[in-house]
Structure 1
Amino acid sequence: MSSASTPDTYHDSDAGSNPSLSASETTNSSKTSGDGVGLSNAHDQLGRKRRYALDLVNRLQNTGIQTDIDLPQIAVIGNQSAGKSSLIEAISGTTLPRASGTCTRCPTECRLTNVAAPARWNCVVSIRTITDSTGQHLGQARNEPFGEVIYNKAEVEDRIRRAQRAILNPHIPRSQILTGDEEINDGRTLTFSSNYVSLQISGPDVADLSFCDLPGLIRSTKEGSTNDIALVEGLVESYIKKPSCIILLTVSCETDPQNQGALQLAREYDPEGLRTVGVLTKPDRISAGDEEDWVRFVKNEGDYKLLNNWFCVRQPNSSELKSGVTWQEARDKENQFFTATAAWRDLDPIYQRYLRTRNLVERLSGILSDLISKRLPEIREELHQLMHNTRKDLAQLPKEPSQDPMSDISAMIYSFSSRLSRVLEGTPEAEALLQCIRPAQNAFKREIRKTAPNFRPYEKKYASQRNMAHFKFLNNEEDELEWDQDSEDNTESGAPVYIDDVNRRIQDARTRELPSRYPYVVEESFIQQITKQWSAPSQRLCELVYRTTLDHVLRLVKDHFSEFGQGLLERQTRLIIMEHMKDRFEATKDRIEWLLDLEHRPFTMNTHYFLDYKDKFFSYYKSYRDQDLNQELNSALQALESERLIKLGITGVKAVDLVKFLPTDGMEGALDIMAGVRAYFQVAYKRFVDNIPSAIDHEMVRGSERDLIRTLPLRLGIHGPDGLAICKELAQESTQVAAKREELSKKLERMKAGNEELSRIF
């Protein structure tokens, strides 16, 4: 439970020992007040410590920190026409505006401060604005004086009325309302407002007390619209829900208490009655025979028992007000009423202390000062924490616009270029640029590898009967990602090309070649058929690397420029970078096309590598071809024993060696082409899967920073004849950031001022 809800928060330890004031005592002490300003006669009974605590909270409120911290405060609530205004007049010693129907239509804050003579009595009327004309809360509340300082009490009522009128008519200049005499009836007047009138009253005959009079709760739509009912109730709740708010609950004795919404709200937010002080008003209107029902409240025997009890006061009625009753006369009549009326006169002395305005105010002063004393250490800690958080929030805002925006922007561009260079060169983070590109490069390599020709050294008619094992002589060169080496038939992934198909193409292409020769165009056509497939994977890789690089670069742009000014520099830099990257992308595509053109015609200087693998592929294909042609003969020869060959006069030869003397099958040319094309692919694909990523990296990745340090300032125009004006425009701070900075700065200033006040006692 918060400190404001603990039982000892509002309990005055001296309350039980203070004797109730008799009628004569009350009258005599009232006369000592001279012109009778509110509670001056109660002031002398307050101890030095109590007065100091109340004064400290008033000074804290002057700093405005109640916007940020829950300061102890008294909120006066009640239904409309419950007698709140008369009670406030009795406490403050000032006359409030009165009108038929709704009276208080915006809160009125009273801050009473005692100052020693010979200081003059004075009243400062201000308007505290917390919402705009549409009801939307402002980021920072405004407290603006309304007129000059008042030294004549008779002028206060009119000034308050005009201040209320100004609050309810925000569309009219306040100066016009302050000096004008005409009533406002243009149909745009608000019925209620959460903005409020603030009265700061000080003088030698003024008590130390602070409270806020809230608009009376509306009982039905006859007294206000449904919207007005919700608005006033929400306003009252915003005050009384705070743990440090003392609820001064006014209940009129002329209406059943259970029908008074203020009582129900108080019970909702203070169900145990720990921080509520009840006040019965208009006891002179109690119906005959019902007195005891109301006396039970003062005895604290009702359904809603309060830690600090119920009080009963009597204020001037309508006829007395019309006759111009003075404050002193009103106090005398109140004393006479409780002295002469049997229901109240006959109460035990222990309950007499809960009758009369004087006793109520003294109790309120004690409750408020006790709460302040308990809350001060907590307020100090809360204030220090808020100051720390506010400084932290300010530090997180972008730097304020400098006096030399050109130098700032130039430095930012240089810093951005340096950081970009490091990113493009490569950094050791898992999500860095090169790490994000590498999977695409690996996928590209696999795609190119899959275009290898799938030659089969047997006729197509035997396709269902033949399998070919993996090229084991490539095991040391191929990545594990490219092959499943346990598969029985996966030499290549493309469509099979059978030896009879190759031979047919040789015959179709033959022109003037000698019978032992075959046309070169056959090999060339096979190679071009392969390299034609390399264009799409290359362009896909280029597109993916472009988008990945652009994404990283634009994120870098945001990190460096987003918090500068209103974001204009970031937007313009972003556009320039995107155009620059697009140019690099187009240049890279041109370079890829150039590399693809190079592969259109077969060429290699890597003769040893090519011939070595041609021999290996030829032997591989021929071994399968020979096995198919002479399978039965091979089986018979392998069954021959060497001894039988010796008997036939054949020595030094194994049976299987006789296969070499068998005639060829006429497909030697086709086997040679198959071996040559497959060997050339091995040469070409390896250089191609290096060249394309290397070209993309050179032209687009690392090429992204090429000339950028010169292009950015040039395109931004910051070094041109209008450079200074352009820089100032780019450096303009966003309205949101400026407003946030102003709000936090004002908040910090409020808290510094509050901390300075607190430092006087800590």
Structure 2
Amino acid sequence: MAHTSVEQQGTVTLMLDNLCIKKQETVCLTDSYNERIRPLLDSVDTLRGLGVMKEGINLPSIVVVGDQSSGKSSVLESLAGISLPRGQGICTRVPLIMRLHNSRLDEGMQIVVEYNGKKLSIADSQITETLNSVTEEIAGTGKSINDTPITLNVWKPNAPDLTMVDLPGITRVPVHGQPQDIYEQISRIIMQYIAPKESIILNVLSAAVDFPTCESIRMSQLVDEKGERTLAVVSKVDKAPEGVLEKVTDNSVNIGLGYVCVRNRVGNETISEARQMECELFTRDPDLSKIDKNMVGIPVLAKKLMQIQAMSISKCLPDILKKIDATLSKRQSELNTLPRNFSTSAEAMIEFMRLMDSIKGMLHKLLVQGDIELFPDETEMHCIACLYKMFESYSHDLSSAFNNTPDDFLVEEVKLLEEARGVSLPNFLPHSVLVILLQSRIESISERSRDLAIMACHYIDKVVCRVIDIQTQCFPSLHSASRRAFQALIDRKRDECIRLVQDTLDMQKTIFFTLNPSFSESRQNWEEWKKTFLDAIKRNHNTVKLEGIGEINLKNVPKDSIQLDAAFDMKMSVMAYWSVVKMRLVDDIPLHLRFTFHKMVQDDIVNLVVKEVLGSAEPAKIGDILEESPKTATKRRDLLKRIAMLRESKYTLSKIIDKLEEA
């Protein structure tokens, strides 16, 4: 038995020696990877620091997710070789971006914490205290979380060149003073980071739990159903070694990038002690020793992460450059649409006249040409179509104003003829009766005609104001002067249109005249209609249907009146002449209105605005009128900053892509 024990010890020692050799090889390999991917990481970190992600351009990232107390922070500190905050509950309350840099041995360790534009250089022993205090500054002293990130830069000899984002651990039930919606807050932050296809998901799973039940697995599967960009780290394997082999080989949760099993640092162990204990665990434990050695240990995890990261960055860089180019063009176009600053009064005057031409040109397209391309999705700005609807409604109102009602046919005509009997010769229709009947009809539609003019002017008011707003929105002084000038103009035009309509109506009420052939042609049907009508009266019919008039109720017709024959002729005359008047009104009034608007666009608007502006400012001070608004000035500064950032990002990325192509 003693001999066997010595033999076993020798075997174990040999295996540990082999592991140490492999560990040294891994370090050398890590150094090799560091040399190759450091420039890639630097370029991505530079882009992140410049703020390119604020433009909606996602960058390759390793995002660390896991359920609460799954061991995420322990895995990260093992990779970095430093101590991070640990404990019960949520240790990570804000996103922690950890940038690991491999430095030379003679440079030692350097640590810099960045947040909200601040930078703090700290010692290794201050990491936990600093991260806790900065987290409290960002997220408060309670248990709430915040999406403002902290960046931890670590330069250390033999450190793997990695950039990772550690996110708050997932918890469903709020405890220890946590907000009631803690799960929703954490989910929102996690999905924000893992949803982009450029993100590599590092899912930390405790060996003691059933993987399919982990909330972190469910979330990662929402954005990476096939697991093509998910790598799983099984932590705390020393706490529950049994069944780990089956879990990582069965792969029931679709982890496409594979599994790596690790042992977390325990208690006050140093990093080197923890790694030594990890080597012994995967060599001596009867269950864990059966796991493929390419799936165990922090060195293996570091190597895999660097490989995956390098491949992801290399694959994404060309697309990122295209997105930067497209965004740069978009921002440049936005800047070009802003009015430029003017150094002289002459430049300001040129811009002022250009704006006046633009206002006139846009209004001409809208109100004269009926252009709909300027506002394809805004039907209320399709001016000719909108005016046509108003005119069409007016025409319909005039047509339906005097439809024959079944109960009063010829009642009014008989009454007026009897009252006017003796004023004119027999068999002649009294002109006074004709005037009364026609004037009453025209008077009844006068208000509707004036309303049409008011409604059309109100619509033109809205259209012109919209155009002025668009063209002068960057210049508050010019905008207010233009609006004042136009308001005075539209008030005058509204009064002018109402007078024009009233003159047209008065003309129709005063002068009864037409050479329209339709009036004479309609007389040819009167005698036949009258014969049918009178025949129905004699036969005591209750109704009669006349072509062109419709069905007439004969019950209330004054059948015994000697004026019945003349009343029918009067009725037909009025109907025929009213058709002529109606045709004139439905054409003339809209035509006059459109012509008024046409003249207003061609001559009045720009002249009035120019007079209003130049009348209140000396030419030398025209620049004051064109002083841009604070909103425009702020937008200009913002666009210039964005464009400078995008140009620098493009330059940085182009250089690294060129080097990759040369290699």
**Is TM more than 0.5 here?**
yes
Cα distance change of structure 1 residues 688 and 730 upon mapping to structure 2, 3 Å threshold: farther
Query: Could you say which residue in structure 2 is the equivalent of 1:165?
Result: 136
Residue 215, structure 1, aligned to residue 168, structure 2: yes
Residue 565, structure 1, aligned to residue 467, structure 2: no
Cα distance change of structure 1 residues 126 and 598 upon mapping to structure 2, 3 Å threshold: same
Paired AA for residue 95 in structure 2: P
Query: Could you say which residue in structure 2 is the equivalent of 1:334?
Result: 278
- Given candidates 252, 274, 277, the residue that maps to 2:231 is 277
Paired AA for residue 216 in structure 1: G
Render the CA deviation track for 1:675-722: whole Å, top value 9, x for unaligned. Answer: 998799699949964765565455565356653223324556884368
Query: Could you say which residue in structure 2 is the equivalent of 1:547?
Result: 455
Paired AA for residue 505 in structure 1: A
Q: Distance in 1 between matches of 2:86 and 2:209?
A: 21
Render the CA deviation track for 1:368-406: whole Å, top value 9, x for unaligned. Answer: 33x33xx63454135314532552465267722422366
Residue 85, structure 1, aligned to residue 73, structure 2: yes
CA shift at 1:62, angstroms? 2.0
Paired AA for residue 413 in structure 1: M
Instruction: Tell me the secondary structure at the aligned position of residue 420 of structure 2.
Output: helix
Query: Could you say which residue in structure 1 is the equivalent of 2:82?
Result: 94
Query: Could you say which residue in structure 2 is the equivalent of 1:413?
Result: 356
Residue 358, structure 1, aligned to residue 299, structure 2: yes
Paired AA for residue 360 in structure 2: S
Paired AA for residue 384 in structure 1: K
Render the CA deviation track for 1:38-59: whole Å, top value 9, x for unaligned. Answer: xxx8442147567423530342
Q: Distance in 1 between matches of 2:22 and 2:393?
A: 99
Query: Could you say which residue in structure 1 is the equivalent of 2:261?
Result: 312
CA shift at 1:317, angstroms? 1.9
Paired AA for residue 17 in structure 2: S
Return the index of the structure with the highest Cα Rg. 1
Cα distance change of structure 1 residues 112 and 21 upon mapping to structure 2, 3 Å threshold: farther
Q: Distance in 1 between matches of 2:654 and 2:82?
A: 32
Query: Could you say which residue in structure 2 is the equivalent of 1:236?
Result: 190
Render the CA deviation track for 1:269-288: whole Å, top value 9, x for unaligned. Answer: 656555443334334444xx
Paired AA for residue 198 in structure 1: T
Aligned ranges 1:714-725 → 2 under 5 Å: 714-715=611-612, 719-720=616-617, 724-725=623-624
Aligned ranges 1:63-82 → 2 under 5 Å: 63-64=47-48, 65=52, 68-82=56-70
Paired AA for residue 36 in structure 2: Y
Paired AA for residue 408 in structure 1: E
Residue 533, structure 1, aligned to residue 441, structure 2: yes
Paired AA for residue 78 in structure 2: A
Q: Distance in 1 between matches of 2:60 and 2:491?
A: 64
Query: Could you say which residue in structure 1 is the equivalent of 2:627?
Result: 728
Q: Distance in 2 between matches of 1:449 and 1:335?
A: 98
- Given candidates 413, 420, 438, the residue that maps to 1:505 is 420
Instruction: Tell me the secondary structure at the aligned position of residue 169 of structure 2.
Output: coil
Asked if the contact 1:113–1:207 (Cα under 8 Å) also holds between the matched residues in 2, the reply is yes
Query: Could you say which residue in structure 2 is the equivalent of 1:400?
Result: 338
Instruction: Tell me the secondary structure at the aligned position of residue 417 of structure 1.
Output: helix
Deviates more, 1:736-745 or 1:48-57: 736-745
Query: Could you say which residue in structure 1 is the equivalent of 2:119?
Result: 146
Aligned ranges 1:319-718 → 2 under 5 Å: 320-321=268-269, 325=270, 327-339=271-283, 341-343=284-286, 347=289, 351-369=292-310, 371-372=311-312, 376-385=314-323, 387-388=325-326, 391-392=329-330, 395=333, 399-404=337-342, 407-420=350-363, 495=410, 502=417, 505-507=420-422, 509=423, 522-524=430-432, 526-548=434-456, 550-552=458-460, 554-559=462-467, 561-562=469-470, 564-565=472-473, 573=482, 576-598=485-507, 601-602=510-511, 685=581, 689=585, 692=589, 695-697=592-594, 699=596, 702-703=599-600, 707-715=604-612
Deviates more, 1:80-89 or 1:388-397: 388-397
Residue 194, structure 1, aligned to residue 147, structure 2: yes
Unaligned runs of 5+ in 1: 1-19, 33-40, 130-143, 170-187, 455-463, 465-492, 511-515, 629-665
CA shift at 1:366, angstroms? 2.8
Q: Distance in 1 between matches of 2:194 and 2:82?
A: 25
Paired AA for residue 239 in structure 1: Y
TM-score (norm 1): 0.62
Q: Distance in 2 between matches of 1:441 and 1:260?
A: 68
Asked if the contact 2:262–2:298 (Cα under 8 Å) also holds between the matched residues in 1, the reply is yes
Asked if the contact 2:65–2:166 (Cα under 8 Å) also holds between the matched residues in 1, the reply is yes
Query: Could you say which residue in structure 2 is the equivalent of 1:293?
Result: 243
Q: Distance in 1 between matches of 2:418 and 2:172?
A: 106
Q: Distance in 2 between matches of 1:218 and 1:239?
A: 17
Paired AA for residue 138 in structure 2: I
Cα distance change of structure 1 residues 200 and 583 upon mapping to structure 2, 3 Å threshold: same
Structure with a larger share of its residues in helix: 2
Query: Could you say which residue in structure 2 is the equivalent of 1:53?
Result: 37
Instruction: Tell me the secondary structure at the aligned position of residue 657 of structure 2.
Output: helix
Paired AA for residue 660 in structure 2: I
Q: Distance in 1 between matches of 2:372 and 2:185?
A: 56
Query: Could you say which residue in structure 2 is the equivalent of 1:206?
Result: 159
Q: Distance in 2 between matches of 1:497 and 1:81?
A: 96
Paired AA for residue 24 in structure 1: D
Query: Could you say which residue in structure 2 is the equivalent of 1:490?
Result: none
- Given candidates 638, 642, 653, the residue that maps to 1:754 is 653
Cα distance change of structure 1 residues 77 and 744 upon mapping to structure 2, 3 Å threshold: same
Deviates more, 1:83-92 or 1:398-407: 398-407
Asked if the contact 1:113–1:209 (Cα under 8 Å) also holds between the matched residues in 2, the reply is yes
Paired AA for residue 365 in structure 1: M
Render the CA deviation track for 1:287-313: whole Å, top value 9, x for unaligned. Answer: xxxx43234446x25755755544333
Render the CA deviation track for 1:202-257: whole Å, top value 9, x for unaligned. Answer: 35533222222222233643454442233224433443444444333333446666
Q: Distance in 2 between matches of 1:260 and 1:616?
A: 90
Q: Distance in 2 between matches of 1:539 and 1:498?
A: 24
Paired AA for residue 146 in structure 1: K
Render the CA deviation track for 1:143-189: whole Å, top value 9, x for unaligned. Answer: x2432x45x434444433333232223xxxxxxxxxxxxxxxxxx64
Asked if the contact 1:316–1:330 (Cα under 8 Å) also holds between the matched residues in 2, the reply is yes
Q: Distance in 2 between matches of 1:78 and 1:449?
A: 76
Q: Distance in 1 between matches of 2:428 and 2:441?
A: 23
Query: Could you say which residue in structure 1 is the equivalent of 2:9?
Result: none
Unaligned runs of 5+ in 2: 1-12, 343-347, 374-378, 535-561
Instruction: Tell me the secondary structure at the aligned position of residue 109 of structure 1.
Output: strand
Asked if the contact 1:125–1:197 (Cα under 8 Å) also holds between the matched residues in 2, the reply is yes
Q: Distance in 2 between matches of 1:243 and 1:21?
A: 44
Q: Distance in 1 between matches of 2:397 and 2:222?
A: 73
Paired AA for residue 23 in structure 1: L
Q: Distance in 1 between matches of 2:275 and 2:453?
A: 89
CA shift at 1:548, angstroms? 3.6
CA shift at 1:92, angstroms? 0.8
Q: Distance in 1 between matches of 2:632 and 2:98?
A: 40
Deviates more, 1:553-562 or 1:103-112: 553-562
- The size of the alignment, in residue pairs, is 596
CA shift at 1:93, angstroms? 1.9
Render the CA deviation track for 1:301-342: whole Å, top value 9, x for unaligned. Answer: 575575554433334322x25xxx4x3333334334445x44
Deviates more, 1:673-682 or 1:302-311: 673-682
Instruction: Tell me the secondary structure at the aligned position of residue 44 of structure 1.
Output: helix
Cα distance change of structure 1 residues 718 and 337 upon mapping to structure 2, 3 Å threshold: farther
Cα distance change of structure 1 residues 678 and 503 upon mapping to structure 2, 3 Å threshold: same
Render the CA deviation track for 1:345-381: whole Å, top value 9, x for unaligned. Answer: 8x35x72343332233223323333x33xx6345413
Cα distance change of structure 1 residues 450 and 743 upon mapping to structure 2, 3 Å threshold: same
Instruction: Tell me the secondary structure at the aligned position of residue 526 of structure 1.
Output: helix
Asked if the contact 2:57–2:323 (Cα under 8 Å) also holds between the matched residues in 1, the reply is no
What is the root-mean-square deviation of aligned Cα atoms in Å? 5.3
Instruction: Tell me the secondary structure at the aligned position of residue 316 of structure 1.
Output: coil
